[in-house]
């Protein structure tokens, strides 16, 4: 086993990441050591890369970010269970305390003491990642590695899209980012009626159209949802809303265009002072459900089952790069035009 590995390190409290050699992490009790094959870049990694207000309050350099990954089990502590060396795994990036009320009740996604991989501890932008065995998830061999590297955001999309029954329903998705587009593909797989997806960025809407061809795309800077309702000959409002933009006006519009009794699953991260029409919520009996992370591990089970029965999110992946070209990957993400960006770690460190 190597003693040193390459990792993308946030060295100081400033923008950027540095590819450098650091020690291979040491396993603790019950840990598995994962040899990373591929990682995907998340919006959270962009905050860390760009060093904005949230990251300066949250991140303690030096540290290694990254939490969307696929790899293979390279070593296991003697207390790790359920895996063999060589198993292909992805993993849940929320490490939970196992002792709070929600953890004890099996609602681990609601743990009060969650530690975020690649946020509060070292993450996956490296040749090796250490993870509690309970967080590792075996990946079925028929699932492409690029797709498995996206399990974390795909899990967000699955958790949100399956929160309410969408079969036969008209679904509004606000925000055609990677997660919004994955949600469109999922609700189609689950038998919804119309899908309307909105964004303010035409490149994102084009990607949505390519990845989920029968969804109705709408640029919220040019048109209102009235146009979608008219074009689709919808008689009433939307039955289910999936808020995936984190934008105040998108959320406010969603609330206004819901049918009575409509249900909204809220994944997008909003400012504390976001304003919506509360009268509309009350008089129309709307349900608004916050969504955090992925259910451990029901979301993972459903996600894998759907991928094995025809769900295809590969069109959301727009860039595949060698990890040494990470700067191109972060630039693509910063452009606002990309879908998921994959970094391949399989060639890096071969010379060592
Ligand atoms: P993203 O930033 O790539 O996508 C958001 C999209 O919303 C962008 O394409 C943007 O152009 C669009 N948008 C902005 N203003 C809009 C408007 N007025 N109307 C419609 N669309 C608008 O983000 P993502 O990675 O796809 O994630 C989606 C959201 O989910 C983000 O807010 C993210 O922070 C959040 N998130 C939450 C969790 C959780 O556990 N709750 C987990 C992951 C991501
Ligand atoms: Zn807990």
Q: What are the pLDDT digits (tens) for 53-95? A: 999 999 999 999 999 999 999 999 999 999 999 999 999 999 9
Tell me the residues surrounding ligand 2 (ion) with CB < 5 Å: 96-97, 100, 103, 111, 113
Ligand 1 atom showing the smallest separation from residue 198 Cα: 20
- Ligand 1 atom nearest the C-alpha of 179 is 26
Ligand 1 centroid – CA 174 distance (Å): 8
Q: What is the mean pLDDT of the chain?
A: 97
In angstroms, how far apart are the furthest CA atoms of the chain? Answer: 66
pLDDT of residue 230: 97
| Rounded percentage of the chain residues whose pLDDT exceeds 70 | 99
With 70 as the cut, is the pLDDT of residue 7 above it? yes
Shortest-distance Cα residue to atom 35 of ligand 1: 268
The whole-number average pLDDT for the span 270-275 is 85
Cα 295 to ligand 2 centre (Å): 13
Task: Give, using CA atoms, the residue closest to atom 30 of ligand 1.
Answer: 268
Residue 323 is given by DSSP the state G
Confidence class of residue 271 from pLDDT cuts 50, 70 and 90?
confident
Residue range 93-133, pLDDT digits in tens: 999 999 999 999 999 999 999 999 999 999 999 999 999 99
**Which residues contact ligand 1 via a Cβ below 6 A?**
43, 156, 174-180, 198-201, 204, 220, 244-247, 249-250, 267-269, 291-293
- What is the arithmetic mean of pLDDT over 263-286? 94
Q: Which ligand sits closest to the CA of 97?
A: 2
**pLDDT computed for residue 351 by the predictor:** 64
Residue 173: predicted pLDDT: 99
Which active-site residues does the annotation give? 44, 47
Domains and CATH numbers, the chain: 4-150+313-344 (3.90.180.10), 157-290 (3.40.50.720)
Which residue, by CA, sits nearest to atom 31 of ligand 1?
268
pLDDT surpassing 60 at residue 276: yes
Of the candidates 52, 40, 42, 43, the residue with the CA atom closest to the CA atom of residue 16: 52
Mean pLDDT of 15-39: 98
- What beta strand segments (E) does the chain contain? 4-9, 18-23, 31-40, 68-76, 88-91, 94-95, 115-116, 128-132, 136-138, 171-174, 195-199, 216-219, 238-243, 258-266, 287-290, 317-322, 340-344
178 CA: nearest ligand 1 atom:
26
CB 122 within 8 A of CB 95: no
Tell me the pLDDT band of 157, cut-offs 50, 70 and 90.
very high
Q: How far is the CA of 24 from the centre of ligand 1 (A)?
A: 34
Report d(CA 227, CA 196) in Å as an integer.
Answer: 11
Which ligand neighbours the alpha carbon of 254 most closely? 1
Looking at residue 272, its pLDDT comes to 76
Q: What is the number of the ligand closest to the CA of 318?
A: 1
More confident residue, 162 or 351: 162
- Mean pLDDT across 221-243: 97
Nearest CA owner, ligand 1 atom 27: 179
């Amino acid at each position: 086993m190597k003693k040193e590995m390459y990792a993308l390190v946030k060295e100081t409290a400033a923008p950027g990441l540095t590819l450098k050699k650091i020690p291979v992490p040491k396993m603790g009790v019950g840990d598995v050591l994962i040899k990373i094959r591929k990682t995907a870049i998340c919006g959270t990694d962009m905050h860390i890369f760009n060093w904005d207000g949230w990251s300066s309050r949250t991140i303690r350099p030096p540290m290694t970010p990254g939490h969307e990954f696929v790899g293979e089990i390279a070593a296991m502590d003697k207390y790790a269970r359920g895996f063999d060396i060589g198993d292909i795994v992805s993993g849940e990036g929320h490490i939970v305390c196992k002792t709070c009320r929600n953890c004890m009740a099996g609602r681990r996604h609601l743990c009060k003491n969650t530690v975020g991989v690649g946020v509060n501890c070292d993450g996956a932008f490296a040749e090796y990642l250490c993870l509690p065995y309970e967080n590792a998830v075996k990946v079925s061999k028929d699932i492409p590695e690029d797709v498995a590297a996206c399990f974390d955001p795909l899990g967000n999309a699955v958790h949100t899209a399956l929160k309410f029954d969408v079969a036969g329903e008209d679904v509004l998705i606000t925000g055609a980012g990677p997660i919004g587009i994955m949600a469109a593909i999922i609700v189609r797989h689950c038998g919804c009626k119309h899908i309307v997806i909105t964004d303010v960025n035409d490149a994102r809407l084009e990607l949505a159209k390519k990845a989920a061809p029968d969804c109705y795309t709408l640029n919220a800077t040019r048109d209102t949802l009235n146009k979608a309702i008219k074009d689709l000959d919808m008689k009433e409002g939307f039955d289910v809303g999936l808020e995936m933009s984190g934008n105040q006006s998108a959320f406010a519009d969603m609330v206004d265009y819901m049918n009575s009794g409509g249900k909204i699953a809220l994944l997008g991260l909003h400012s504390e002072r976001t304003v919506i029409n509360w009268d509309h919520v009350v008089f129309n009996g709307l349900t608004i459900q916050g969504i955090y992370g992925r259910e451990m591990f029901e979301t993972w089970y459903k996600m894998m089952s759907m991928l094995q029965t025809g769900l295809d999110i590969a069109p959301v992946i727009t860039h595949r790069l060698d990890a040494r070209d990470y700067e191109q990957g972060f630039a693509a993400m910063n452009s606002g035009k990309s879908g998921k960006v994959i970094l391949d770690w399989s060639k890096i460190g071969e010379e060592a």
